[in-house]
Amino acid sequence: MPKVLLAEDDRTMLTLLQTLLTIEGFEPVAILEKPGDLIENIRLEKPQAILLDVNLGNRDGIEIVRQIRAVPELQSVRVIMTSGLPRADECLAAGADDFLLKPYMPDDLIKRLRR
């Protein structure tokens, strides 16, 4: 079962994503709920993919993807970033593998995760 880390601060969205991914055969893990350093938690979880919101309250998703890409052992982790604003170019330039503009269709997310 492929593991997908969810870096999403909207509780409703997080619950919907966890349900959807579980139904589709993924193992969703809500990474922001874990205490401690985000990058260290990603290292410990060893995901195949990360769904990363650009705006995480007091955290900047663009900076987080840059930090992820600076860690050699995380280079192969697929990072899909999401936002309600059209920031695809900025996300991809920072190191994201893909971008989804919110609101997106569940099928679009699942297709991108299965690539």
CB neighbours of residue 69 within 10 Å: 15
Domain spans of the chain, in order of start: 1-53+61-79
Above pLDDT 90, what percent of the chain? Answer: 82
pLDDT (0 to 100) of residue 1: 84
| pLDDT value, residue 59 | 85
CATH of domain 1-53+61-79: 3.40.50.2300
Residue 35 above 70 pLDDT? no
How many Cβ atoms from other residues are within 10 Å of residue 74's Cβ?
17
pLDDT tens track for 46-87? 999 999 999 987 889 999 999 999 999 999 999 999 999 999
- Per-residue 3-state assignment (H helix, E strand, C coil) for 52-92: EECEECCEEHHHHHHHHHCCHHHCCCEEEEEECCCCHHHHH
Residue type, 115: R
What integer pLDDT is reported at residue 115 of this predicted model? 85
Q: What is the pLDDT of residue 38?
A: 85
